Chain A
Amino acid sequence: MSTDASAPEEDTVMSTIEKKITSELKPVKLEVIPAYGDPNGSHVTINVVSQAFEGKRAVQRQQMVYKVIWEEMQGAIHAVDQMKCQTPAEAGM
């Protein structure tokens, strides 16, 4: 995600999602990628690598992520184009 070096730091939808997932799932790797490069856009791709997913099926892992960003999902975000939830082992880390 590229940021404009001259713009003041502000809370975008994407940065809020990143902060929440980071705080709750303690990922070793996290990508929150807005579609069309819009940090306040309504479509997003989320890739999370976290030990918290260990032992959980794909559907449970996504439920964990949705729980963390539920507010954003009810409001700003209309669609998740892709959500990948892996453990560090699965991600080859």
Chain B
Amino acid sequence: SQAEVDEMLQTLINKSPIMLFMKGSPSQPQCGFSKQMVSLLQRHNIEFDHFDILQDDLVRQELKRFSKWATYPQLYVNGELVGGLDICKELVEAGEL
């Protein structure tokens, strides 16, 4: 059911204080934007956990609907959506990440 899916997603989002939903893994990113996001986090010594959305089609489709965000990568901090690569780059420039 929708509620069960939403609950599963909420738990997944909260799996780690900083949670990255990406294509591939940090050691083997499968898309340019995901790769850049990983580099950005690592450059700033930010510890994060990740979920490879290429491995799970249900999460891949449902998370977009759940977060009203149409693309990957998606970065969550403390259960809240921060945004994609460009927003994170802006936050870095503003010293806010």
Q: Report which residue of B71, B82, B84 has the largest number of chain A beta carbons within 10 angstroms of its beta carbon.
A: B71
Q: Is the CB of A83 within 8 A of B68?
A: no
A80 to B87, CA, bound (A): 12
B90 on the interface (CB 8 Å rule)? yes
Number of chain B residues whose Cβ lies closer than 8 Å to a Cβ of chain A: 12
Q: Is the CB of A58 within 8 A of B69?
A: no
Interface of B, helix, strand, loop or mixed by DSSP: mixed
Residues in B whose Cβ lies below 8 Å from that of A58: 83, 87, 90
Q: Is the CB of B33 within 8 A of A62?
A: no
B12 on the interface (CB 8 Å rule)? no
Residues in A whose Cβ lies below 8 Å from that of B71: 73, 79-80
Residues in A whose Cβ lies below 8 Å from that of B81: 59
